[in-house]
Amino acid sequence: MTQSTGMFDKVLIANRGEIACRIARSCAAMGVRTVAVYSDVDVDAAHVAACDEARRLGPAAASESYLDIGKILEAARDSGAEAIHPGYGFLSENARFAEACAEAGVVFIGPPVPAIKSMGSKSAAKAIMAEAGVPLVPGYYGEDQSLERLESEARAIGFPVLIKASAGGGGKGMRRVDEAGKFAEALAAAKREAKGAFGDDHVLIERCLIAPRHIEVQVFADTHGNVVHLFERDCSIQRRHQKIVEEAPAPHLDPQRREEMGRAAVAAAQAIGYVGAGTVEFIADTDGRFYFMEMNTRLQVEHPVTEFITRQDLVEWQLEVAAGRALPLRQNELAIHGHAMEARIYAEDPARDFLPAIGRIEDLRLPESGPNVRIDIGVRAGDAVSVHYDPMIAKLIVWDQNRSGAVKRLQRALGRFRVQGVVTNVDFLARVARQPEFAEGKVHTGFIEEHRAHLLPEPQASPDEVLAFAALSELQRIDREGLERAQESNDPYSPWHVTSGWRLNSDNFHAFHFRDAVGDTQVVAHYGDENYRLDLPGGTVEARVSQTAAGDLRAVLGGKQITATVLGSGERITVVLDGLAYELERYNPLTAGMEAALPAGTLTAPMPGTVTHVYVAEGEAVEEGQALMVLEAMKMEHTIAANGAGVVAKVNFAAGETVSEGAELLSIEAAVTG
C-alpha cells in the first residue's frame, strides 16, 4: 500500500459491466483518468465507452481475459496506470493478483495481501475471529476432510447443517443437509462445485439456523490506524444463496444490537490489520444473537445502499485510502440518513429455478433517476447478455426518509424498469416488493421459499386489457408501415396503402392471434370512424389509443382510461401493465402446431454452458431422479437428472464440451415392465 498522499492520475479498472461503469463515474468526478480492459465480446461494451481509454485482454473466456493477471498488468504498464481497481468478482479477492501488482509497482486498490489470505479461507477466518472474540456459529472448521470425520462432525452439530466451501463465496459449494442419509451425496456435490469455482475443495460444516437473517456491516480502514464501520445492510432475500434484494439499515434492528454488530465488525477488521473497504457478514438468529460468517475483502455489490444512507462515495474513499490518505470521517461523524433499498436485475428465469438467460437486449426502458432513484447499469439496448459472464444487467437503488417510503419507491421504480429481448427477474422482484411481509420488514433467508406461491405463481391467461394493448400496438404498427409505404410510393393515394382492413361489402377488421404461457387467443379489431371495436375473450369494448410523451400507450377501453408500456412488435410483444410484464407471441394459425416435438425421454440443456461431468454411459440402467450429467454456465451448476426409470440410449456430449440451450444431452428409453 502506498504511503503517498498524492491522488492517482490514472487508474485501470480490472472488471466489466455495471461495477466498471460505476467506478469510472467516481474517478471522473475526482479528476482521475480511467483505463478499461475488455475481452473480444466486450469491445463495444458500456464500460469501455465509460472510460477514457481501453486495452484488449483477449478472447471471451474469463480465464483468457479478465482473469489473466499477466495481461492485466501488461495493460496497466502500457497505459501508464498507477493503480488498479479490481471491482468485485474476478480477481478482487485474489491474493496472488495483489502480490503481482506490488511486484509490478502498481497500487492494488484493496486490502493488504495478508488480510486477503487470512479471510480467503473460511476455516482460517473463523479461527482468527474466535481469537478476536467475534461470535461464531457452532461448527467444524478443521483440516480433516475425510467423509468419516465430516459426517461425524455433522452428527455432533445436529441436523440440519450447512456444508460450505472454505474458499470463495456467492453460494458456490454450499449445500443444506437435513438428514444423515443425504450427507455423503451433498458433500460430494459441494466439494465438486468448490473445486470447480475456487480450485479448492475444502469445506466446513455449520449448524443451519432456521429462518435467520443475513446482516453485514460495511467497514473501512486506512494506513494510519483508523477503522470505522458505516452501519449495516440486510441482505436476507436470496435465491440460490445469492442476494437479490438488499437494504440499509436493517429493519427491526434495535440500537444496542446495531452497536454490538458494528463493534464486532471493527474488531474483525483490526484483527487482520485490514486496510480499505471490506464487509463483515453475520448470520442473525431469531433470538437476536448474531454470528460471524465471513469477511469479503472488497467492495460489495450492494454498497450503493450504504452510500445512500451515509451520503458518502465509497469508491472515492477507496481511492483516498489507497493513495495513503486518512479516512475522510471518524466514527462519531457518521450517521444514518433515511432508508435505502437495492434490487439486482438479472437475466434469469425465476420460473425455471432462476436459471441464467442469454440473448440480445432489444429494448431497454429505465425509470427516471434522480436524488431518490439510482441505476447502476453496464448494458445498453442492442448489447448481448453472454454465456461467458455473470448475468447481472443492472442494480436499481432507491432512497427515502423512512423504510415505508423506500418500499413505495422501489415498487414504482421496478414497474418502470423493462427489458425486451431477454428473460429477466424484474417481475419477480416487483412481486417481492409488493409482498405484505416485505413491507413489514419480516425478511429472512427463507423468504422466497416461504412465499413461493405468491412470488412464483402458476401461469395465468393474459387479462383482456393486456390483449387489448397488444392489439392496439399492432394496429399502430400497421398504420405506421402503411404511411411509410405511401410516402415512399410514386402513388401515395393508392388504395393498396390503406391499412384499415377494408373489404368489399364487408366489415373492416384485423384479426390478431396471440399466444401466452397458457394458450392461444384471438382478438378481432373492427375499424370505426374515430376508434376501434375490440372483440376480446371477456366481451367487446370500444377503444381509442394515443401515445404519451414517454412513448407509452394511453387507451380508453370501454370508458376506462389506462396507460401501459408495449415493447417489441411483430412476433414478440411485451405489455407492461400495473407494474407487471406479460409476454405474448403473435402467431399464424395456419402454421401453428407444426413445430417438431422432441421424442419422449429426451433430456435437453436448460441453458447454454459446458458439460463438467457425465455420470452414466450408454446402456446403463438409471432410476428416476438419478444424476446423469452436470452442466455449468454463468457461474452456476445445474444437475441433469433422469426424468424416469429406464436405460440410457444415447449420450451426446462428453465432459468439457459446450452445449447450446435446448441441445439434446441424453436420451432414455423407458424400462420394460411385465
Pair 628, 641: CB distance under 8 Å: yes
Distance CA 349, CA 423 (A): 6
Catalytic residue among 239, 258, 298, 418: 298
Cell of 346: 438479472
Cell of 471: 392489439
* Residue spans of alpha helices (H) in 228-353: 255-271, 303-310, 314-322
DSSP 3-state helix, strand, coil percentages of the chain (rounded to 5)?
30, 30, 40
Closest CA to 511 of 502, 501, 498, 524: 524
Pair 474, 512: CB distance under 8 Å: yes
Burial label, 618 (beta-carbon count in 10 A; 0-12, 13-18, 19+): exposed
Mode of pairing for the β-strands spanning 418-420 and 339-346:
unpaired
Cell of 276: 480499505
Q: Residue 420 CB: number of other CB atoms within 10 A?
A: 23
Closest CA to 462 of 474, 453, 471: 471
Cell of 436: 405484505
DSSP E strands in 285-337: the ranges are 290-296
Distance CA 212, CA 92 (A): 28
Residue recorded with cell 437473517: 213
Closest CA to 429 of 579, 311, 534: 579
Distance CA 98, CA 112 (A): 8
Distance CA 168, CA 217 (A): 18
User: In angstroms, what CA-CA distances link 118 with 29, 271, 272?
Assistant: 34, 10, 7
Closest CA to 534 of 460, 459, 474: 474
Pair 651, 616: CB distance under 8 Å: yes
Supply φ then ψ for residue 567, to 5 degrees: -110, 145
DSSP letters spanning 375-416: EEE---TT-EE-TTS--EEEEEEEEESSHHHHHHHHHHHHHT
Pair 358, 387: CB distance under 8 Å: yes
434 classed as catalytic: no
Orientation of helix 113-120 relative to helix 95-103, angle to 10°: 170
DSSP letters spanning 86-100: --SSTTTT-HHHHHH
For residue 279, which amino acid is it? T
User: In angstroms, what CA-CA distances link 21 with 278, 376, 432, 433?
Assistant: 20, 8, 27, 27
The catalytic residue positions are 298
